[in-house]
Amino acid sequence: MSNMAIIKNNIDCPCGSGLLIQQCCIPDVLPITLNTQTRIKLNRQRMAQVVDDSGNHLGFIDLSQLGIKMQASLGKYEQIDPAIENAIYPAAKFHGILDKPKDFQEQYFKHLDALWDVLHAVRYHQRNFLFRLRKLIIEYSVDFSMVQPGEGVEITYDDVPLRLELESMILRLISTLDVFAKIAGTLMGKGFNQDKDLWSYLLATHKNKNRPVSSALYEIYTKYSWIRDLKGIRNAITHDAIFLGYTGMKFQDTLFSMPYVNELKSDHFAFRVWKELLQMTREILLTVTSKYESSF
């Protein structure tokens, strides 16, 4: 019954945050996030007031219930996810940038803002995906509990919303790579707009000893093998409108199996990719900012 472990609330989150799972990647209530229509104001009671663009009050959300901790923010945004802030903050504090022309600084911080947004978008879809997955497992485990073992029930249930959350998460992951390329390109003085621009540059230059940033970035990119998988999935979704590496949930003899992504359990996929994306964000930002002044 190890497939059912994800239902338990009182276990540490597999993402390694140290929080309980329901306070982290699989919330008890659907996660909130910022979009262009809503703003969140924090009051002293740490309740978030959600307002629309005209300032109309839409409601309050208790952030402590969602397991969100308050920390010093970058200034422009209210705190939403400390893990994302911790990944971006070293680059935001990069002092060499303050000696650069104003338009250069604006470009750089614009890309950091975009990175902030897209990481929150990945996080949002990850949490929605895991939330719905858990909900389906609970509902259908109950429904099928009346079936006796050996009766041979086998149903594949391809839940469309679940699949869409997974696809949305994957598309945002690819967008994150594009933002990495823009940040690296700004610091290198190159016009990288997409991950593939940066990647072809790295392929061409990483062996050049005079290009330590290229070598370092190349090492980072090759270390995260899921990038190759993601690009395949993204292409399958956007070009063929189908992703054959995804298989829906199966019910067999009342036992429940997870949906799979490229033969990896989808919850493991969602946890692993998110955790590694944050790690990769830190590595890339530290690499391009710390080596920036000495290298270009």
For binding to Zn ion (CB under 5 A), which residues are involved? 13, 15, 17, 24-25
CB nearer to Zn ion: pick between 124 and 218: 124
- The least distance separating Zn ion from the CB of residue 15, rounded to whole angstroms, comes to 3
- The least distance separating Zn ion from the CB of residue 112, rounded to whole angstroms, comes to 23
CB nearer to Zn ion: pick between 123 and 172: 123
Which H or E run includes 250? strand 249-252
CB nearer to Zn ion: pick between 13 and 181: 13
Contact 184, 217 (CB under 8 A): yes
* Distance set, CA 269 to CA 130, 172, 175, 189 (Å): 11, 15, 18, 35
Q: Write b or e for each residue in 101-125: b if 16 or more Cβ atoms lie within 10 A of its Cβ, otherwise e.
A: eeeeeebbbebbbbbbbbbbbbbbb
**Residues ≥6 apart with Cβ < 8 Å to 45:** none
- The least distance separating Zn ion from the CB of residue 129, rounded to whole angstroms, comes to 13
- The least distance separating Zn ion from the CB of residue 169, rounded to whole angstroms, comes to 14
- The least distance separating Zn ion from the CB of residue 19, rounded to whole angstroms, comes to 6
CB nearer to Zn ion: pick between 67 and 185: 67
CB nearer to Zn ion: pick between 217 and 270: 270
- What's the first-to-final CA gap in the chain, in angstroms? 55
DSSP E strands in 142-226: the ranges are: 154-157
Do you know the residue count of the chain? 296
